[in-house]
Amino acid sequence: MGCIARLGCLVLLAILAVGAWFTRDRWMPESMRSHTVSTTKGPTWEPLSDAGARRTETALSKLSQQRGPVFQTLSGADAASYIFRELASRLPQSSDSVQAMVSGDRVAMRANVKLSELGGAGALGPLGSMLADREPVQFTGTFRVLKPGLAEFQIQEIKIGAVNLPRAMIPSLIGRFDRGQRPAGLDRDALPLPIPRYVGDIRVANGKITLYKTVE
């Protein structure tokens, strides 16, 4: 009976301990409580802003100085505001509500677009039947410097509404809406991006964009 009694006491203590843990907010001091709510924010869509573009222009002016820094790391929102302002002239004329997001090592841009400027829903084959006359169009990719003064936004994914396009369709879709002259050497799945001649590389990592000076 002594063993059974001891076992009963242990069970009782265990029940009391569990009850104390679940009611700790009532009796435990604030400094000793465990908080598990995370406040970390993930990547978010942000509208392009003139202020962000100006901050990027200021960073570029420092990069252009002979004795200036060899690189400048910018927030994704600021760099995207400058970069996509340059690309906006190549988007369909109906584009509005342009936003950008930097996630990891990739950059995304989206805008509301009339599908008639992409050849209409019929140009998208069976996927077109799932779309309205106007849809958000999202481009996701990265940057590559081609030569002094010219980079490209290499598009790896296109999403129209809730539909992800097959990658093989990307070059033909770009050909339908790209309104500018395409420079020699530009990839078929990319949009051209004019850059200052002193920018030698553009890298995207950890939600930030770093511009590197050309080393001569």
**Residues 156-167: pLDDT tens digits?**
999 999 889 899
Mean pLDDT of 69-74: 93
- Percentages helix, strand, coil for the chain (3-state, rounded to 5) are 40, 30, 30
**pLDDT value at residue 38:** 42
Span 136-147, mean pLDDT? 94
Mean pLDDT of 169-195: 89
| Domain parsing of the chain, residue ranges | 46-213
What pLDDT does residue 13 have? 57
Please determine, for residue 192, whether its predicted confidence score (pLDDT) is greater than 80: yes
**Residue 35: predicted pLDDT:** 47
Mean pLDDT of the chain: 82
Predicted model pTM:
0.74
- Cα dihedral 57/60/64/67 (nearest 10): 120
Mind listing the pLDDT tens digit for each residue in 147-158?
A: 999 999 999 999
In this structure, what DSSP letter does residue 133 have? Answer: S
pLDDT band at 44 (very low <50, low <70, confident <90, very high): confident
